[in-house]
Amino acid sequence: MNRVPILMYHIIGNPRSANESRYCCIPDRFAEQMAWIAKARIPVCLDTLIDGLNGKTELPETAVAVTFDDGFSSTFEHAMPVLSDYGISATMFIVADRVGMDNDWMHRRGMPKRSLMDIGQIREMHTANITIGSHTRTHPKLPECMPETMSREISDS
């Protein structure tokens, strides 16, 4: 197998503005999607996916990876209970220097301010079968960064 769908979510919640809506999945819809995945697919974390694609393990034909970007607290509030109910593993990418703060990189571009998970919530997600990964230190637009800044953003996170 060399193709596995990767679902990427950001905010599990209702959009607070029109320009934010593309980043949102309303909680009821997310629950419906996870119910379908639990019946029709075999969720794997990205580490397992990479091992499978590298031939270190066999991936099921119906494998799917569920991921979350940025570490929004709405993921903890709305997604984690659903993932736990269905036993779905997932991967959460955290903006390291913004833990417990907000999405300043988005509201500087006119989108609503939203809280990010604190360290206790991140730890709780990790113990609930969610793999925690890095999503840079401050969420810059990497192609616009100088090489030394890009290196720090990636390696220091």
Q: What is the mean pLDDT of the chain?
A: 93
Q: What is the pLDDT of residues 74-128, one digit of tens each?
A: 999 999 999 999 999 999 999 999 999 999 999 888 899 999 999 999 999 999 9
Structural element, H or E, at residue 73: helix 73-74
pTM over 0.85: yes
Residue 1 has pLDDT above 70, yes or no: no
CA 101 vs CA 19, 45, 93, 117, 123: distances in Å: 21, 26, 15, 8, 16
Q: Are 96 and 71 spatial neighbours (Cβ–Cβ below 8 Å)?
A: no
CA 20 – CA 16 distance, rounded (Å)? 7
